[in-house]
Amino acid sequence: MIGLDFGYGALEAEFWRLVFVMTRIGAALVAAPLFGAVTVPAQVRVMVAGAVAVMVCAWTPVAAPAQLLSAAGILSVMGEVLVGLTLGFVLQLSFAAPLIAAEVIGGGMGLNIAVAIDPVGGAQSPALGQYFMVVLTLVFLALGAHLQWFALVVRSYEVFPPGQTWLGPERFALVAGFASQMFLTALAIALPVTLVLLVVQVVTGVLSRSAPALNLFALGMPAGVLGGIAALMIAAPVLTDMVARLSAEALANAARVLGP
């Protein structure tokens, strides 16, 4: 099968088939926001990919290339990686919307100076972004969206069987179009709190002009922080609905990549 024979016959052939199937699933896990986090050990991703690959091998007639180390076999593996990364990247785009909203809200509240290491991406993000990501992760898992995403990964073997994994310019353009949807969702999440912060800043400016003795910085920053926290508490039900809709949109976008 790979040009090498270790003498195990059908057992060896089945093992290389399993490894080949794990390629697409592993690439999807690496690109996905939850399973691809730097805090998730690589051993866990390998075990999850292996468990899903066992089910795929049992449910679908996926066959590995006859010569896995040949040029055709390497191209087939690269195609598997392409499909897996695309499915994970679509989910990553949806999870980036709360972080963008947190940047906008944190700038108005003056909290962008409080940054922490994002355990998902490994980069710095505002403390408010951590709060949004925790809410999104809890809602995403509570709705069982991760199981539906795994079902889409398994379905991709029917839509893009090995050797026919070229997505085409239409699907690449579709994935790029999801970025605009991400910015619109981020705007919808940040808009209620941003409007409250705008009112607070306008009132603070009027007070500073009416009473020049007042220190604008000493009055404006605490008022912005308190107004932002109050707006976040009032908008918490709206945030939950937006996050639930965002999870549904993430799955819908991944399904659109696979086609009807």
Write the pLDDT tens digit of every residue in 96-123: 888 888 888 877 776 666 665 655 555 6
Residue 162: name the closest of 16, 58, 62 by CA. Answer: 62
Cα–Cα distance, 240 to 50 (Å, whole number): 34
Q: pLDDT tens-digit profile of 41-80?
A: 888 888 888 888 888 888 878 777 777 677 777 888 888 8
Q: Which pLDDT does position 1 carry in this prediction?
A: 46
Q: pLDDT tens-digit profile of 7-45?
A: 555 677 778 788 888 888 888 888 888 787 777 788 888
Answer with the residue of higher pLDDT: 45 or 220: 45
Confidence of residue 125 (pLDDT cuts 50, 70, 90): low
Quick check: 32 and 89 in contact, CB under 8 A?
no
Q: Which pLDDT does position 181 carry in this prediction?
A: 81
Confidence of residue 170 (pLDDT cuts 50, 70, 90): confident
Helix ranges (DSSP H) in the chain: 10-31, 42-59, 71-109, 127-142, 145-159, 169-210, 216-234, 236-258
Q: Which pLDDT does position 4 carry in this prediction?
A: 52
DSSP reduced 3-state for 167: coil
User: What is the pLDDT of the chain when averaged over all its residues?
Assistant: 78
Cα–Cα distance, 56 to 155 (Å, whole number): 9
Q: pLDDT tens-digit profile of 158-168?
A: 888 877 777 77
Q: Which pLDDT does position 38 carry in this prediction?
A: 73
DSSP reduced 3-state for 104: helix
Q: Which of 1-10, 143-152, 228-237 is the least confident region?
A: 1-10
